[in-house]
Chain A
């Protein structure tokens, strides 16, 4: 998954941290994920300031339970040595505690948010003549569960042959997914547009009947919030952290492709369901903002 270069870069960065720390006065060391953990450990040995490790995703989750041993060790070492760990969801907190053996009292949860929650709902008007579409947006990696969505898609298409499935993103699984869509006989309904820019992504959200995040394991899943901001109903796996902050979404076990298909069809079929989900999830989202979350992090700084 990662080239040798990446590890070299991580080691170089960690070495530089010592020097940077010595020359720049500071009060806390706030590092993000495994790549900066060693740098933070070095920094702390110089300044002896409190060290916070902010975990956005764990190797356990990224690899669906088969972690790269070196990365896992970097992560675990950072977690053990940090004075405080911030996890992006309760779900991630559980994993840090269960899979890395870290004391739960050391872990605080601060959920993610989205920029600009003010959305003009009227802007999301899907033209009547466009065929319904289901949107996926993530790295095409095993932990993101795109293959489960394809399998559910096959069941949907058997009943609703005009539904399109759009998979935005790049990744190691691309070829495998293309093959699978052929194998399932649904290649005409499936589109892989690759990587899109911000505007194109927003447009894709707005055009979609439903956004699906079928992750096998998702620390948070900020794209779900972006979909809501764009007025798109969301179906996410029960294994996603974002479900802790937005309740007005549909949820399904990632492996339950029958139920996934059932829910996709329900949203496409029942306009009332789509509009209630849209309305209620936007209301929820508007109660979230980054300022609030930043305030929580500052509070954590003060406890150290």
Chain B
């Protein structure tokens, strides 16, 4: 591996579990005593989520802790959503302990994101900022570290968002795919008010424009599995590519329901992280020396494609954000704090973008075979979501 010896690799793990929606029929009105009526938690009754947690989260934590302690040069990046950590605090405190142990090595870097894994930037800037602050506070409370870079797999990249993030103190921004495409990222910088910010952009695997930082977006779509799980193919890629830095993202949820695929996934992670052919230690998203070209809006417009969402998704998300008007009114009124907290919590949990992704009508059968969708079809996901949103709408009207 003469060439790949110089390669630097960034390893990123995405950790996210939403509050899954309760089965909610249109005519079965429940009392809205608390937002709980709309959601399932990670408790024992939620077989779908429990299985992902048991099959993937616990073994992955164990594996990564072992790899971190075996190799003092190993350096990892993590992106947690707030709703995930909050649920683990309640239902899986051992996982929190494991993550804390990792962070305490000083070699695990935790990123900031929206608390609810939402696409709030596109619909409500005010809401977006609140969720980012909530998230940063929770990261501090749990890990006692300051999240100073931003990671996001929900929003489409835009210079405006990048600039905004820079403005609120994030020097680096790792942005990922839209609606489940297999993508690779490229590292380019953006000039902002005479200061630079590091942007890692998604890019197609075959895209020749990728220059420096490649990220295999692992755990999103099966198409890249062959490349991803074949160590020799990866070695070939690494030894032939012109790029000097490579990034790989791993999803904690990947292949939880497919034992053989999961085993290959874990083995791949192990092989990769134990591989001496490249330096995993020496690259970091906060490392200022990895700066590259400017990003212009034009450069990324093709990845900023909202038309990929179907009508069901667009309608569902817009119905949800229409409710903000009622919520603001409730916030301004003299209402018990508990009532206010209750309705905001429900609204925010509904914003987790997973609920919208479950409505994707492309390739849903293969996703379903991998049991990444807790519904029989995207139509069922839409019906359930809309039933809840409509019910919530009526509740809000009553309160305002």
Contact with B along A221-258 (1 / 0, CB 8 A): 00000000000000000000000000110110000001
In the complex, the answer to whether B25 meets A272 with C-beta atoms within 8 Å is no
Q: Which residues of A contact B377 (CB under 8 A)?
A: 247, 250-251
Q: Which residues of A contact B379 (CB under 8 A)?
A: 248, 250, 273, 276-277
| Chain A, Cβ-Cβ closest to B316 | A272
Q: Which residues of B contact A159 (CB under 8 A)?
A: 26-27
Measured in the bound complex, the distance between the Cα atoms of B380 and A248 in whole Å is 11
Q: Which residues of A contact B376 (CB under 8 A)?
A: 251
Measured in the bound complex, the distance between the Cα atoms of B311 and A280 in whole Å is 12
A258 with B310: in contact, given A247-B377, A270-B386, A280-B361 (CB under 8 Å)? no
A265 with B365: in contact, given A275-B311, A276-B311 (CB under 8 Å)? no
Q: Which residues of A contact B265 (CB under 8 A)?
A: none
Measured in the bound complex, the distance between the Cα atoms of B211 and A294 in whole Å is 52
Measured in the bound complex, the distance between the Cα atoms of B383 and A273 in whole Å is 8
Nearest CB of chain B from residue A84's CB, rounded to whole Å: 29
In the complex, the answer to whether B361 meets A262 with C-beta atoms within 8 Å is no
Residue in B27, B311, B315, B361 whose beta carbon sits within 8 Å of that of A265 in the complex: B27
Q: Which residues of B contact A258 (CB under 8 A)?
A: 25, 28
In the complex, the answer to whether A262 meets B312 with C-beta atoms within 8 Å is no
Chain A interface, number of residues (Cβ within 8 angstroms): 22
Contact with B along A253-295 (1 / 0, CB 8 A): 0000011011101100110110111001000000000000000
A262 with B27: in contact, given A247-B365, A250-B380, A273-B379 (CB under 8 Å)? yes
Nearest CB of chain A from residue B146's CB, rounded to whole Å: 43
In the complex, the answer to whether A272 meets B383 with C-beta atoms within 8 Å is no
The winner among A261, A263, A270 for most chain B CB atoms within 10 A is A270
In the complex, the answer to whether B311 meets A259 with C-beta atoms within 8 Å is no
In the complex, the answer to whether B382 meets A273 with C-beta atoms within 8 Å is yes
A155 within 8 A of B: yes
Measured in the bound complex, the distance between the Cα atoms of B379 and A259 in whole Å is 13
A66 within 8 A of B: no
Contact with A along B353-379 (1 / 0, CB 8 A): 000000001000100000000001101
Q: Which residues of A contact B382 (CB under 8 A)?
A: 266, 270, 273
Q: Which residues of A contact B312 (CB under 8 A)?
A: 272-273, 276
B137 within 8 A of A: no
| Chain B, Cβ-Cβ closest to A235 | B379
Residue in B27, B311, B386 whose beta carbon sits within 8 Å of that of A261 in the complex: B27
In the complex, the answer to whether B27 meets A248 with C-beta atoms within 8 Å is no
Q: Which residues of B contact A276 (CB under 8 A)?
A: 310-312, 361, 379
Q: Which residues of B contact A272 (CB under 8 A)?
A: 311-312, 315
B97 within 8 A of A: no
In the complex, the answer to whether B310 meets A262 with C-beta atoms within 8 Å is no
Q: Which residues of B contact A275 (CB under 8 A)?
A: 311
In the complex, the answer to whether B386 meets A266 with C-beta atoms within 8 Å is yes
Q: Which residues of B contact A269 (CB under 8 A)?
A: 26
Q: Which residues of A contact B281 (CB under 8 A)?
A: none
Nearest CB of chain B from residue A162's CB, rounded to whole Å: 16
In the complex, the answer to whether B311 meets A262 with C-beta atoms within 8 Å is no
Nearest CB of chain A from residue B57's CB, rounded to whole Å: 31
Contact with A along B386-400 (1 / 0, CB 8 A): 110000000000000
Measured in the bound complex, the distance between the Cα atoms of B320 and A219 in whole Å is 41
Measured in the bound complex, the distance between the Cα atoms of B380 and A158 in whole Å is 22
In the complex, the answer to whether B361 meets A263 with C-beta atoms within 8 Å is no
Q: Which residues of A contact B386 (CB under 8 A)?
A: 266, 270
Measured in the bound complex, the distance between the Cα atoms of B375 and A251 in whole Å is 11
In the complex, the answer to whether B365 meets A262 with C-beta atoms within 8 Å is no
Q: Which residues of A contact B365 (CB under 8 A)?
A: 247
Query: Can you report 21 residue pairs joining A to B where beta carbons are below 8 Å apart?
Result: A158-B27, A247-B365, A248-B361, A248-B379, A250-B377, A251-B376, A251-B377, A258-B25, A258-B28, A259-B25, A262-B27, A265-B26, A266-B386, A270-B382, A272-B312, A273-B312, A273-B382, A273-B383, A276-B312, A276-B361, A276-B379
Beyond the given pairs A261-B25, A263-B383, 8 more chain A to chain B contacts, judged by CB atoms under 8 angstroms and listed by A's residue number, are: A159-B27, A250-B379, A262-B387, A266-B26, A270-B315, A270-B382, A272-B315, A276-B312
